[in-house]
Structure 1
């Protein structure tokens, strides 16, 4: 079992990684917790006993349910039950569950504690860590949300034993991103438990320096600008990690066209994506104009088209990218 401390202003919280880690949940609840609202989905395949009075609230699966309506449903259910600030929310599931439950926890009574029990690889290495929560709008992915740090995160690797192969593979798309961030060198040589822990360490260091994405934290969105556009335009036909894999290759192609990286560096991106047998092309039928429009709405976009791009000094935020160069780079991943 590995414990990684995630520092946030004024405190830190533990992320527990290992097989059977969910059994640590009762000790991870905030002191004095009276009751727990467990948010999960049917078919998750994993439960976790918080050790206090609790009630389970199921939400629907899929990005179509990642909406303000689902947040309203949870908050109204909690109000009916009488949940208070002395209680706690426990989210058990993948990134969709932790995003929605975390946002509902941040909103209900203007904030109740939340603990995330991540059951997917993508959730373990990314979504459950760092306090970003949110839901989708028809206009784009994760456009409404809040920064709300959890009290603890549990990454029980036993959950991955029954994860569908596509879901597990998609998680590697998010993990692949960390290979290009500070501390990601040598990530490929670690066993899975250490890989998850190292990804958490990388993200924790970045979040500690920029909790609310004022600058540095935006590099955690490496590969995500096109990924989110693909997900929205394609009505979430690709899993998030699959879209991120394509987004990584697009970001590399764009960086090469801007003279930021070499052909060899682009090849490394392709090697890593291929290693995990992830998609390497934009799905057919998605229009370039639509994708460019959606990328222009990205949360990072402050001055024209904005991307996290690799370069000699590592991944950086690049603003004001020429739309025609961005369009040409789409051709590189077609």
Structure 2
């Protein structure tokens, strides 16, 4: 089966989920719409897949450039960004040409920002190849790169014209990468769709099999949450008075600090798993959630095989990094927390001692 979910923003686009959906790339590129050139930005592990995507486009007499970039977060640097710009410039890319991001979340983040910044914005298509990429990075129009000071501090909102989530690629996904992606799926369960949590608890063994129908269902549910959330608040302004898109950052303030401290040697999902336990501890200590919901964070994340504890003795370093988080306002730290299951809110300026106690609980 193929599932098609529409992201109903001002410029709606579809996320197609199923087996063999990479074949739909030709239609999304827009053959016959003045396109002459396509750049496929991909990680080294996706070189063979990039070559396969190239073939039908070349058959349409398009000029296709394969741009190989480093794997994971090493791709999201100003040097790599400048390299991509140089390739586009030398190839003569115009506003009618198209960028394709093929790979995990880091690759699609980079490809989206290349598209957003080249000629002030050209069309792009995301072809995510990991669970994390499908559920989180490829949908929603957030693009960006990292700096020495923090993760995703430079970027732009630039929506793709379509997203192709081909489940066939998951068969070869390393177990650690599958677990990491499931952190973002579980996050969607805590902030919006508890049926995700029920499904994880009911079939934990199936989650380890990337070809299982359970994994496909979880991915679809996670993308549905992301599509609904970004449609209501694309640019994360919360202008209607609700938490809006910021809800998707559940666990990310602390998680990004962990990633930065570890120089991205931990997977994004592993760090976000720890971050979710941290904010659950914060919410529990602030009297917002009960012990059962706090404990459910640990039990579900451990069922998936994700970490729920972190190293002690580095609170000051993590706190310094968190003060550069995108949700921070002035010198006030702000965290996405739950006041009950599927009821996320912003907790602004919590007492430092409360945060330290939550960290100690995670680091114990």
What TM-score range do you get, normalising by the shorter chain?
A: over 0.9
Q: Per the alignment, in what secondary structure is the counterpart of residue 8 of structure 1? A: coil
Counterpart residue number, 1:133: 143
1:49 to 48, 53, 57: 53
TM-score, with normalisation over the residues of structure 2?
0.88
Identify which range, 290-299 or 310-319, moves more after superposition. Answer: 310-319
Q: 117-126 vs 27-36, which deviates more?
A: 27-36
SS in 1 for 2:264: coil
Name structure 2 gaps, 5 residues minimum.
200-212, 239-243
Whole-Å separation in 2 of the counterparts to 1:21 and 1:322: 49
Give, in whole Å, the separation in 1 of the partners of 2:311 and 2:273: 12
Whether the 8 Å CA contact 2:196–2:221 is kept in 1: the answer is: no
Runs of 4+ in 1 over 4 A off after TM superposition: none
User: CA–CA distance in 1 between the matches of 2:24 and 2:198?
Assistant: 28
| Equivalence for 1:149 | 159
1:178 aligns with 2:194: no
Pick aligned residue for 2:220 from 197, 214, 230: 197
Give the 3-state SS of the residue equivalent to 2:360 in structure 1. Answer: helix
TM-score by length of 1: 0.96
Which consecutive unaligned segments of at least 5 residues does structure 1 have?
Answer: none
Aligned position for 1:323: 352
1:294 matched to 2:304: no
Which of residues 266, 269, 273 in structure 2 aligns to 1:245?
273
Mapped partners of 2:194, 2:28: distance in 1: 28
Give CA deviations for 1:295-324 in whole Å, capped at 9, x if unaligned.
111101115111000113711111111122
**C-alpha contact 1:30 1:151 (8 A) present in aligned 2:** no
Q: Name the SS for the 2:223 alignment partner.
A: helix
Offset at residue 174 of structure 1 (A): 1.3
1:40 maps onto 2:42 in alignment? yes
SS of residue matched to 2:336: strand
Match of 1:263 in 2: 291
How many residue pairs end up in the alignment?
A: 332
2:306 equivalent among 275, 278, 281: 278
Q: Distance in 2 between matches of 1:326 and 1:163?
A: 36
Alpha-carbon shift at residue 41 of structure 1 (Å): 1.3
Task: Specify the SS of the correspondent of 2:220.
Answer: helix
Q: Check 1:186–1:59 CA distance in 2 against 1; reply closer, same or farther (3 A cut).
A: closer
Task: Tell me the SS of whatever aligns to 2:191.
Answer: coil
Q: CA separation in 2, counterparts of 1:184 and 1:147?
A: 28
Tell me, in whole angstroms, the C-alpha distance in 2 between the residues paired with 1:259 and 1:230. 25
Residues 154-209 of structure 1, C-alpha deviations (whole Å, 9 max, x = no match)? 11111111111111111111111011122343454372222212211111111111
Partner secondary structure for residue 195 of structure 2: coil
**Matched residue, 1:220:** 248
Coordinate RMSD, CA, aligned:
1.5
Q: Distance in 2 between matches of 1:195 and 1:167?
A: 15
CA distance in 2, matches of 1:184, 1:113: 35
Q: Deviations over 1:9-34 (max 9, x none)?
A: 1x310101011111111122236132
Q: Secondary structure at the match of 1:213?
A: coil
How far apart, in 2, do the equivalents of 1:187 and 1:127 lie?
Answer: 21
Cα distance in 2 between the residues matched to 1:187 and 1:6: 23
Which whole-Å CA distance do the structure 2 matches of 1:193 and 1:124 have between them?
A: 11
Distance 1:187 1:6, change over 3 A: farther
Superposition deviation, residue 37 in structure 1: 0.5
> Aligned equivalents of 2:316 and 2:89: distance in 1?
44
**Deviates most, 89-98 or 306-315:** 306-315
1:114 aligns with 2:124: yes
